[in-house]
Amino acid sequence: MIEVIQTISHMHQVADQLRNAGDRVGLVPTMGYLHEGHLSLITRALEDANQVVVSIFVNPTQFGPKEDLAAYPRDLDRDLDLIEKAGAKFAYVPEVEEVYPEGFATYVNVEGLTDNLCGISRPEHFKGVTTIVSKLFAAVKPHLAVFGQKDAQQVLVIQRMVRDLNFDVEVVVAPTVREADGVAKSSRNVYLTPEERQDAPALYRALQKGKALIEAGVRDPEEVVRTMRAMINATPYGQIDYVEAVDMDQLAPMSALSGQVLLAVAVYFGKARLIDNVWVEVPRKTPS
């Protein structure tokens, strides 16, 4: 049976019990409405941890004022069922009133890394993410936490936060889970109309094309981005938020592609905003 933990003090208690029993604790932070992507994070956590806590919390501070907080899909009973079947024994499901009590005033912020890509159209988003993830780390006291590669900027921001704030938590990155046609699994895919859903594979196709160009020797980020933009713009419904080729360390533009490169896209389909990315290792010298 899955144990549902609803208060911070109870979570602290369970965290101490698990650690005192010598368990290795993995955390999988989610906003619920679980799909196969989340379940793969649980499976990944269980590879390195013998006890896994899945948190379910639709975090208001990472939504902008005009975003989909109220509409965000929820189905707790189904989520708990899926978590149990995936092999996790604990669900941490705190109430928003306890997580953000009256007079709440403390935020964790990673400066710089959060200014570009998704940070441009969602200026307060990552401050909300790093604040809630800090709170989850303090509540659950995990040895490791698993995040999906789909949210690439989030992964890099959290890795920086963990290093900077000296959290004794290993950040594990799990690969993006995709539909048969390449669309990255996301709770927000339910927002798509059938017509928009037909356009959605263009994101991953564009990313694959960008990767292929780099692997064929293209080192000009402009050329890669231009090709990717054209592919997404060719769809009837997709409206580009951004298409970028940046270095993985600083998320900053490069004059010539080298080292670890992040190709990342964000595209609006009506009210839905989908993101996707691939990571490309560029050899420092082209083989002769």
Active site positions, annotated: 38
Closest distance of CB 1 from its own copies, Å: 25
Closest distance of CB 103 from its own copies, Å: 7
With a CB cutoff of 8 Å and minimum separation 6, the contacts of 246 are 116, 117, 221, 252, 253, 254, 261, 262, 264
Other Cβ atoms less than 10 A from the Cβ of 211: the count is 17
The one-character DSSP state at 28 is E
| CB nearer its own copies, residue 2 or residue 165 | 165
Other Cβ atoms less than 10 A from the Cβ of 173: the count is 18
Closest distance of CB 15 from its own copies, Å: 8
Site of interaction with its own copies (CB under 8 A): 8, 12, 15-16, 19-20, 101, 103-113, 130-131, 134-135, 138-139, 141, 160-161, 163-168, 249-250
Whole-number Cα distances in Å, 16 to 139, 158, 237, 250:
10, 24, 50, 36
| CB nearer its own copies, residue 125 or residue 273 | 125
Closest distance of CB 282 from its own copies, Å: 21
Strand pairing of 144-148 and 170-174?
parallel
CA distance 141 to 11: 9
* Closest to 202 in 3D by CA, of 223, 216, 181: 181
| CB nearer its own copies, residue 31 or residue 113 | 113
| CB nearer its own copies, residue 127 or residue 273 | 127
